[in-house]
Structures are given as C-alpha cells and as structure tokens.
Amino acid sequence: MLNTTTRQTSDGPVLDIHGDLDFHTVPAFRKTLEGLTLTPGQRLELNLAGLRFCDSSGITAFLVARNVAATAGAVVALTGVPETTFRVLRIVGLDQVFVIEPAERAEADSA
C-alpha cells in the first residue's frame, strides 16, 4: 500500500510518502513523479517520514525522481529518511548522490 500526497512550497513540490515502496507500488509512484511540473532551480522533496518499507524498486523510484528533476533542471532531496532506508542508501552509495536529511532519530544516532 502506498499513499502519496503532493503539496507546493516556495522551494518546489513536496511529495509526502506513506506506506511501502516496493515492486507493486512503484509503477504508480513513477506515474506521479512523471506527472510533476518542475522548473529550473526548484527542489523536489520526497518526504519519507511515513515510509514503512523500501526495497530495490524503491531505490529505482528515487533514481527516476532524480532523472525527472535533472531533466527539468531541478534537484531532489530525500527528507525524513528512516534509519533502515538510510542504511540501504549508504550501502549502494546513494548517500553521495542525493541530498539526504535523515529522520530525527537517525540524525541523532549518527551525530
């Protein structure tokens, strides 16, 4: 199950993600991403605070977001990243690719 809501801020759109990013939910999520309107210099924020589960399909979704943003001259930030997802992102090296703001607990742990 995945529930995504989009809101606009002065920096750009924010996608609040609730539920699972997996093999079953990612195709719909990709459609949401590809339907976004982004302008150069904007920041696309994926708020993962409500993310329960993320497998490699989820990683692919983040990369799609990156491509969508790059095409529009925008950047992607992952915020509220849960500790488990942050660990996976670090293993695959994507902590070097995305602007990542971990969830507060993870931030405190890694500080």
Partner 1 sequence: MSPVEPDPPPEAAEGLAEQAAAVAPLLEDSAEDLYENAPCGYLSTLMNGTLAKVNGTLLSWLGYRREELVGRRRFADLLTIGGKLYHETHFAPLLQMQGEVHGIAMELKAADGARLPVLITSAVKTDAAGEPLLIRTTVTDARDRRAYEQELLRARRSAEEAHREAERSREHLHEVVAVLQRSLLPPSLPLVPGLDTAAHYHTASPDHLGGDFYDLFSLGGGRWAFCLGDVCGKGPEAAAVTSLARYTLRAAAMNDADPEAVLHTLNSVLCERYAEADPRYCTVVFGLLEAADPAGAGVDITLAGGGHPPALLLRDNGTAEYLHTPGGVLIGILPSPPIAVVRARLEPGDTLVLYTDGLTEARTPAGRYGDEQLLAHASALAPSAAEPAVKALTDLLESFGSGLDDDTAILALGVPARAEENSTSSPC
Q: How far is the CB of 63 from partner 1 (least distance, A)?
A: 4
The radius of gyration computed from the CA coordinates of the chain, to the nearest angstrom, equals 13
Percentages helix, strand, coil for the chain (3-state, rounded to 5) are 40, 35, 25
d(CA 34, CA 66): 11
Task: Find the binder of partner 1 among 3, 9, 67, 110 (CB under 8 A).
Answer: 67
Measured from the CB of residue 93, what is the shortest distance to partner 1 in angstroms? 3
Q: Which is nearer to partner 1, 14 or 59 (CB)?
A: 59
Q: Which is nearer to partner 1, 36 or 59 (CB)?
A: 59
